[in-house]
Chains A and B, each alone.
Chain A
Amino acid sequence: MAGRLYRTYLILLIASLLAIGHVHTQQTLSGFWFISACSMWFAGQRMGIPLRQSVASAIWFILPGMTLTVLSVMSAFTECFGQWANGFMEFWFHPFVLLLELLPFRRLGAFSEVYLATCVVPFVIILCSVLSWTLARMLRGEESA
């Protein structure tokens, strides 16, 4: 599953880059990717892939994003990577950023709210995957009972 997520996400990144200047096209592409990722996830559940394997796939998928987030936060406090870490993080998460930008904008301390929201994205993905799996198992348990 992680391999498929990676492939589709890379295609999304390239397509989004080519569609610069057409924000609605970019947002539509991102929307399609989210829907396909969710359907991939639920198809995995239906096929009975174990929770541990699915969460491992999710972690494997978000590993580059999480690494860039950690480097970027480190860079914000120590300036060890200049703007490179922020730049790569912005590029990697761009499909998410397009949607996060729709939030009302504010600054929290020295940081942009969209940046902080993007930092949280990897952890939200893990949390959502675990929660959805747990919920599905509970519902299935109720059905079998």
Chain B
Amino acid sequence: MIGRGRNKFTRDAGYFALLLIGCTVVILAPERVFQRTPSLSLVHAMARELVRGHLNGAYQGHPNSMNASLLEPGDVIVCHNPGGGYGYWTHAVVYVGRGQVVDANDFARGTEVRNVENYRFYDRVVVLRAVAPASVRLRAAESALQEVGKAYDPFSALSDLHSEYCSKLIWRVYDEQGIRLCSEKSWVLPDDLASSTQLRQVACWQATTWRGR
């Protein structure tokens, strides 16, 4: 009986060791191995950064000089903190007016309305405005407000209407208005929004002591 238990334990330990070796190989593998599949490439990049303790970036402690009076409903705010695991821009929200944004960033809170002043606590913030009439941008903002309460799921597909994550929310509300901010893929990242030709930069604020990446 004890021998059987020991055998089982050895087998399970073997599986665990195999998994650990597999993960290590994936993390150490060169980037070109995953280049053909964007989602695998992203998983690979995130796994590498996670090992270093990076994911959402780390706020350096100096608020940026944001001026919320320049914002218009439908504006996309992309935020940067150094050490992001999935790109330069570590977060994105959509401004819905009255000093508020819709944000999908945390599993516990889900998609929620937050005060725009919270985004002062990023090292760098850029405001992007869709190249579209104000009425279209307003409809996108209204559409974002309707998403409030939905679950946060960073592993969800763009076609999954049951959950959101920051950049997916923005991509979807503009897609509903007929504006495709970037091509449809497994993961839309804040970097994809920042490089969109459908958005133009209207403002950029950074922390006074900001020294780049």
User: Once the chains bind, are B153 and A105 in contact (CB under 8 Å)?
Assistant: no
- How far does the Cβ of A96 sit from chain B's closest Cβ, in whole Å? 12
User: Once the chains bind, are B153 and A101 in contact (CB under 8 Å)?
Assistant: yes
User: Once the chains bind, are A86 and B107 in contact (CB under 8 Å)?
Assistant: yes
Interface residues of B in 30-66 (CB under 8 A from A): 39-40, 43, 55-56
Asked if B108 is an interface residue, CB under 8 A from chain A, the answer is yes
User: Once the chains bind, are A83 and B151 in contact (CB under 8 Å)?
Assistant: no
Interface residues of A in 1-52 (CB under 8 A from B): 3, 6-7, 10, 16-18, 20-23, 26
Q: Which residues of B contact A107 (CB under 8 A)?
A: 110, 112, 148-149
User: Once the chains bind, are B106 and A97 in contact (CB under 8 Å)?
Assistant: no
- How far does the Cβ of A64 sit from chain B's closest Cβ, in whole Å? 12
A82 to B107, CA, bound (A): 12
Asked if B100 is an interface residue, CB under 8 A from chain A, the answer is no
Q: B1-33 vs A: 1/0 string, CB under 8 Å?
A: 000000010011001000100000000000000
User: Once the chains bind, are B185 and A90 in contact (CB under 8 Å)?
Assistant: no
Asked if A114 is an interface residue, CB under 8 A from chain B, the answer is yes
**Chain B residues touching A, range:** 35 or more
Q: Which of A16, A21, A106 has the most CB of B within 10 A?
A: A21
Interface residues of B in 74-109 (CB under 8 A from A): 105-109
Q: Which residues of B contact A75 (CB under 8 A)?
A: 108
Q: Which residues of B contact A87 (CB under 8 A)?
A: 55, 107
Q: A98-122 vs B: 1/0 string, CB under 8 Å?
A: 0011100111001111110010000
User: Once the chains bind, are A86 and B106 in contact (CB under 8 Å)?
Assistant: yes
- How far does the Cβ of A17 sit from chain B's closest Cβ, in whole Å? 7
User: Once the chains bind, are B150 and A20 in contact (CB under 8 Å)?
Assistant: no
User: Once the chains bind, are B107 and A23 in contact (CB under 8 Å)?
Assistant: no
Asked if A76 is an interface residue, CB under 8 A from chain B, the answer is yes
Q: Which residues of B contact A114 (CB under 8 A)?
A: 110, 151, 163
User: Once the chains bind, are A20 and B149 in contact (CB under 8 Å)?
Assistant: no
User: Once the chains bind, are A112 and B156 in contact (CB under 8 Å)?
Assistant: no
A7 to B8, CA, bound (A): 12
Q: Which residues of A contact B105 (CB under 8 A)?
A: 83
Interface residues of B in 144-192 (CB under 8 A from A): 148-160, 162-163, 185-187
Q: Which of B56, B107, B152, B163 has the most CB of A within 10 A?
A: B107
User: Once the chains bind, are B149 and A23 in contact (CB under 8 Å)?
Assistant: no
Q: A17-B155, A113-B149 are in contact. List 5 more A-B contacts (CB 8 A).
A: A6-B12, A17-B43, A101-B153, A112-B109, A112-B149
Q: Which of B's residues lie within 8 Å of A, judged by CB?
A: 8, 11-12, 15, 19, 39-40, 43, 55-56, 105-112, 148-160, 162-163, 185-187
A-B contact pairs, 9 of them (CB 8 A): A7-B15, A17-B155, A21-B157, A90-B107, A97-B163, A111-B109, A112-B151, A113-B110, A113-B149
Q: Which of A's residues lie within 8 Å of B, judged by CB?
A: 3, 6-7, 10, 16-18, 20-23, 26, 72, 75-76, 83-84, 86-87, 89-91, 94, 97, 100-102, 105-107, 110-115, 118
